Each structure stands twice: as structure tokens, then as C-alpha cells.
């Protein structure tokens, strides 16, 4: 028997650094006391620059303003906005008063917005007035009558937000201390929606303990101190932005630098240069876009030390360029999922380059991982593929109001079944080799094909549709729709299909390719063979 096969695919993350027993508000207060005059938040587009003392005061204003709107412990407060300073204030303000922040994807269409508002029972919505081509004011107006629990909408950039803060300034700050002393680190504090295979998103319910410790742990492995300045072009509505970015920063006294509301490669590099950032975040597609700028060499990136690349597999060549051309010699790869707050596996600063490009690293501190046979649940020997499972402080409390779905993902021993296929080597490094289900990861966005298929099924000329992920150099994966047309209908063009989808799903769910067929490849039992479709799709794309 080989050495690899003799060891089970199990690892636990030992650490001499204890877990934090704080709520997010208490932890922020500790940082403010230690570093009151250091920069905490810089929003370059808005011209906002706050020290930790100023950040704390602003957070308290928003928290008290929400209390004046009768937001109580456990109430759900939605936030629907791109990255901005108000997003950060709302994140910490809701935590301060024990409200549950509900992250809403800025790309959502009206039916997606309505579903989340109703499923979470959102009572107060903090919203941007618009973003890109979406008129949020109009969209909220369209769904409000169908969301009976929605009492208040506070739109940013105008009188609503200023009135909220003014009410907070007039309120008695002693109320906050009284509320916070009754909060528990195990209280739910955040709902993040993940797409469901049936087309209905599930709200991963996360606690103070979940996300505070995960942000802290990620920051510890990156070596963060109060000297670090973190450029965060990744969205806050994902754990990547609000946990690995914001909470990693505030738990270490580091500075959060926001280059803009949405990702722009030049704006990100300008922010690094102007603010002397030491860390830069992004999915591989973001780093590719930055490296591809014609004037890339003109930016002074000499302050960069580290950063995170996550969201989808990183091409080895891109990783080398990030290290060599951007000076990010300590850049880290992180693996996780929303349901695990998110990071459970991470490369270390001193890992060899080969490990950082061929694996997603080793288990994080205070966590456990194992690779099991999906059919039996038995842990497989190292070197063999199986389903990745993780357990520990980071595993979500459950899916909001979905106990059956929770039980499908978290077993009685509290192992979170990721659905990802992984291989653990003899040193405990893990490589992700596939997914049990058909989830597609496009530029860090998780997409379940079933949701797009259901939209295509509503097209009057489409008889049937199957959606698959196909390889893409820029985004990691793109969507291809295979469609069967109704008798007498003309074959749908790519542009017509994309136009149909654009008003019905978020932009990142719109298929990049379409292939019209008479029949789908099927198994003898009548199931669609998506594996064969993917193989054929690669040939079609290469041939084109």
C-alpha cells in the first residue's frame, strides 16, 4: 500500500491564535480604541475618508437611525447597492443593533428582488437609486405592493439617507450599549442568497461568530496589521468583499480602500497607486483585465505585498504575472462557499508557487476538511477524488426558513457537504477537480443552469433548453444554451436569445453561446447527458 493511500483525506487546522468571542460591534470598538486616528475607510469616487474614530461615529449614527425606524434585534434589513461607503456603514450598523443584513445582488431583476424581499421578510431596505442601466427606484416601486413586510425604503444619495443619519445624531447613544450587551456572537447577522438548482435562491444565514472569525482568520494568514491598506474592487454583496475585505480589515486595524462602485481595471490600479495599497483583491478575470491594460507599466504598484485571488480557478500564467509584474509575492488563493462564511481552504504566504497555482491550499485555522465517497460518505484515501466536506466555526447556521434544504447540505455531525470534487495530497493540499452538480462559476459568480433553463422555457418558440458551462479564458467559464425549437419556428439567433434573457435574469446569467439542435444526447434511461454536451460544445467553440 502506498504512503498516500494509507492516510485518510482528513485534515484539521491547528492554531495558537484563539477564535474571537466578540460580536462585530464589540470587535470594531476594540479596533477603534487601539487605532482611533488611523485611516479606516477611503472611498475614492465619493471623496470619503474616515479614521476609525470617525467610522465608529458614522456607524453609530446609522445604527441609531435604524432604531428610530423601529428596527429591532433579528429584523431583516436589506441592502441593494454597489460598493460605496454607505454599504460599509450599513454593514456595521446592522451588526451593532443585532439586525440581520440581507445582501441583494445589484444585478438582480425585479422578480429576483421580489423573491428575496419576501423570502427574508425584509422590513427596511437601504437602496441605491440606480446602478448601471437599472432604475432601482422604479423597480422597488414595482414590487413593493407584493412585499407586505417591507415598511421603509431608504434611498442613498438624497434626503432619505441624510434624514436617517440626522435622526441618529439626535437619538440617545445609550440605547446602543443597552442593546449590544444583550447580543450573542452566535446570533444571525447576515443573509447571503445563493442560486438554487430549482431556480429559487437560498439564504445562507451567517452569525457574528461565522463571518467575524473568517475575516480575521483570512487576514491573519495574509499577515495584516494596522499598516495594511486593502484595495477592494470585489463586490460587498459577496463574502469576498464584506468578509474577506471589510472584516479582515477592521479586525486588524487595516484600511478599506474602495476604488469605485463596480470593477474598472484602471480605477483599481489607480487606487493602489494613489493610496499606496499593500493588498489587492480580485477574481482571475479582474487580474487579467488589469494586466492587459495598455498602460499597465505606467502604474506604480510598488506598495503591493499581498492580496487574494479567488472565485474561480487561477491560470498558472496569470498567477506568475501577478507575482512578477504586480509585485504581489505573498498573494493567496482562497477557496470556500457562501455557506462557510466563506473561506475554508487557503494558500499561505510562504507556500511554493507550484502549490499556489495547482491547489487551493490547506485547511484554515480551527476548521476541519475531509474528502468522502459521495455514495457512502466514507473518507477516501489521500490521492483519491471525492466530495469535499468542511466543519467548524464557519459553517452557516442554515438556510433561512428552509430546514429541509439545510438538512440536505449539513449532515447530523455538522459537516457541510460542498458538492465539489476534490483531491487531498500527502501534505494536506487540496485541488478542486470538478463539481458534483452542474453549477457554473463565471468570473466568481455562481450560476445554476436550471434557473436559466426555466427562463428559456418561457420563450414561445423554444421547446426545450439545456444550459451548460464551457471553458473561457477570461471568466473561467461561460454559459452555452442548447435549445430545441418548436415545430415551424425558425432557429433562434444568439442575439435574439441574449435579448430575451437580459430583461429576465442578471447579466452574468445571460448565455454567451447558443446551439440549436433537433435532440439532446440522452442516456438509455432518458436523462440528458450534459457531459457529452460539454465535450461537443468545446469542439464547436474551437471550430468556430
pLDDT, tens digit, for every residue of 115-155? 999 999 999 999 999 999 999 999 999 999 999 999 999 99
Contact predicate 361/430, CB 8 Å: yes
What distance in Å separates the CA atoms of residue 161 and residue 544, rounded to the nearest whole number?
51
Examine residue 467 and state whether it is found in any structural domain, yes or no.
yes
Whole-number pLDDT of residue 318: 85
Give the mean pLDDT of 222-229: 98
Q: Please provide the DSSP assignment of 479-541 as one string.
A: EEEEEEEPTTPPPPPHHHHHHHHHTTS-GGGS-SEEEE-SS--B-TTS-B-HHHHHHHHHHHH
Cβ atoms within 10 Å, residue 515? 18
Predicted confidence (pLDDT) at residue 526 exceeds the cutoff of 70: no
pLDDT, tens digit, for every residue of 1-53? 444 456 999 999 999 999 999 999 999 999 999 999 999 999 999 999 999 99
Cα–Cα distance list, 300 to 96, 354, 362 (Å): 38, 27, 32
Buried b or exposed e, range 335-349, using 16+ CB within 10 angstroms: bbbbbbbbbbbbbee
What distance in Å separates the CA atoms of residue 120 and residue 482, rounded to the nearest whole number?
34
pLDDT, tens digit, for every residue of 274-333? 999 999 999 888 998 899 899 999 999 999 999 999 876 677 778 889 999 999 999 999
Examine residue 113 and state whether it is found in any structural domain, yes or no.
no
What distance in Å separates the CA atoms of residue 94 and residue 24, rounded to the nearest whole number?
10
In the chain, the number of structural domains is 1
What distance in Å separates the CA atoms of residue 531 and residue 469, rounded to the nearest whole number?
10
pLDDT, tens digit, for every residue of 53-79? 999 999 999 999 999 999 999 999 999
Examine residue 511 and state whether it is found in any structural domain, yes or no.
yes
Cα–Cα distance list, 279 to 149, 219, 318, 518 (Å): 41, 11, 17, 51
Whole-number pLDDT of residue 1: 40
- Of 111, 99, 37, 39, the closest CA to residue 74 belongs to 99
Examine residue 307 and state whether it is found in any structural domain, yes or no.
no
Predicted confidence (pLDDT) at residue 209 exceeds the cutoff of 50: yes
Instruction: Write the CB contacts of 44 (distance below 8 Å, at least 6 apart in sequence).
Output: 257, 258, 259, 260, 267, 270, 271, 274, 275
Contact predicate 230/255, CB 8 Å: yes
Query: In terms of pLDDT, which residue wins out, 100 or 201?
Result: 100
Specify the DSSP class assigned to residue 381: B
CATH of the domain at 444: 3.30.300.30
Examine residue 449 and state whether it is found in any structural domain, yes or no.
yes
Query: Distance of alpha carbon 309 from its chain centroid, rounded?
Result: 12
Interhelix angle 494-502/449-456, rounded to 10 degrees, is: 100
Listed range (185-189, 375-379, 397-401) with the worst mean pLDDT? 375-379
Examine residue 291 and state whether it is found in any structural domain, yes or no.
no
What distance in Å separates the CA atoms of residue 96 and residue 63, rounded to the nearest whole number?
7
478 is in which domain, residue-wise? 440-543
Give the mean pLDDT of 76-91: 98
Predicted confidence (pLDDT) at residue 195 exceeds the cutoff of 70: no
Size of the chain, expressed as the number of residues it contains: 544
Whole-number pLDDT of residue 412: 97
Cβ atoms within 10 Å, residue 202? 25
Amino acid at each position: 500500500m502506498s504512503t498516500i493511500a494509507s492516510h485518510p483525506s482528513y485534515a484539521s487546522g491547528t492554531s495558537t491564535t484563539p477564535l474571537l468571542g466578540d460580536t462585530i460591534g464589540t470587535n470594531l470598538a476594540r479596533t477603534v480604541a487601539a487605532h482611533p486616528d488611523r485611516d479606516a475607510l477611503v472611498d475614492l469616487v465619493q471623496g470619503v475618508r474616515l479614521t476609525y474614530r470617525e467610522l465608529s461615529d458614522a456607524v453609530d449614527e446609522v445604527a441609531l437611525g435604524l432604531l428610530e425606524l423601529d428596527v429591532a434585534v433579528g429584523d431583516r434589513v436589506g441592502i441593494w447597492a454597489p460598493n460605496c461607503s454607505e454599504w460599509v456603514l450599513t454593514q456595521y450598523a446592522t451588526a451593532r443593533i443585532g439586525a440581520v443584513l440581507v445582501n441583494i445582488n445589484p444585478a438582480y431583476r425585479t422578480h429576483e428582488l421580489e423573491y428575496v424581499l419576501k423570502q427574508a421578510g425584509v422590513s427596511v431596505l437601504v437602496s441605491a437609486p440606480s446602478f448601471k442601466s437599472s432604475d432601482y427606484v422604479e423597480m422597488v416601486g414595482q414590487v413593493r405592493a407584493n412585499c407586505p413586510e417591507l415598511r421603509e425604503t431608504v434611498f442613498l444619495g438624497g434626503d432619505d439617507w441624510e434624514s436617517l443619519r440626522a435622526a441618529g445624531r439626535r437619538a440617545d447613544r445609550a440605547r446602543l450599549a443597552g442593546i449590544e450587551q444583550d447580543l450573542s456572537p452566535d446570533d444571525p447577522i447576515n443573509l447571503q442568497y445563493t442560486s438554487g438548482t430549482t431556480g429559487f435562491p437560498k439564504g445562507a444565514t451567517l452569525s457574528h461568530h461565522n463571518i467575524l472569525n473568517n475575516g480575521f482568520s483570512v487576514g491573519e494568514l495574509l499577515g495584516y496589521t494596522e499598516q495594511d491598506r486593502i484595495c477592494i474592487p470585489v463586490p460587498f454583496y459577496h463574502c469576498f468583499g464584506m468578509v474577506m475585505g471589510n472584516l479582515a480589515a477592521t479586525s486588524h486595524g487595516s484600511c478599506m480602500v474602495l476604488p469605485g462602485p463596480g470593477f474598472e481595471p484602471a480605477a483599481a490600479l489607480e487606487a493602489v497607486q494613489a493610496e499606496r495599497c499593500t493588498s489587492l483583491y480580485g477574481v482571475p478575470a479582474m487580474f487579467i483585465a488589469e494586466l492587459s491594460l495598455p498602460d499597465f507599466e505606467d502604474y506604480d504598484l510598488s506598495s503591493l505585498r499581498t492580496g487574494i485571488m479567488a472565485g474561480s480557478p487561477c491560470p498558472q500564467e496569470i498567477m506568475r504575472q501577478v507575482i512578477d509584474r504586480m509585485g504581489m509575492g505573498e498573494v493567496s488563493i482562497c477557496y470556500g462557499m457562501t455557506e462557510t462564511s466563506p473561506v475554508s481552504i487557503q494558500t499561505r504566504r510562504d507556500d511554493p508557487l507550484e502549490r499556489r497555482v495547482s491547489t487551493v491550499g490547506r485547511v484554515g485555522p480551527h476548521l476541519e476538511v475531509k474528502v468522502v465517497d459521495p455514495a457512502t460518505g466514507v473518507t477516501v484515501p489521500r490521492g483519491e477524488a471525492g466530495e469535499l466536506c468542511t466543519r467548524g466555526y464557519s459553517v452557516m447556521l442554515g438556510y433561512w426558513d428552509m430546514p429541509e434544504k439545510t438538512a440536505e447540505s449539513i449532515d447530523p455531525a455538522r459537516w457541510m457537504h460542498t458538492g465539489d470534487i476534490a483531491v487531498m495530497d500527502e501534505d494536506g493540499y487540496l485541488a478542486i477537480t470538478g463539481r458534483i452538480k452542474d453549477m457554473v462559476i463565471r468570473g466568481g459568480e455562481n450560476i445554476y443552469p436550471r434557473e436559466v433553463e426555466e427562463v428559456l422555457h418561457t420563450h414561445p418558440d423554444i421547446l426545450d433548453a439545456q444550459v451548460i458551462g464551457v471553458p473561457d479564458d477570461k471568466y473561467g467559464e461561460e454559459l452555452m444554451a442548447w435549445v430545441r425549437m418548436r415545430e415551424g419556428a425558425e432557429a433562434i439567433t444568439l442575439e435574439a436569445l441574449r435579448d430575451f434573457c437580459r430583461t429576465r435574469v442578471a447579466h452574468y446569467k445571460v448565455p454567451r453561446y447558443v446551439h440549436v439542435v433537433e435532440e439532446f444526447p440522452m442516456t438509455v434511461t432518458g436523462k440528458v447527458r450534459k457531459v457529452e454536451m460539454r465535450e461537443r460544445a468545446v469542439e464547436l467553440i474551437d471550430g468556430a
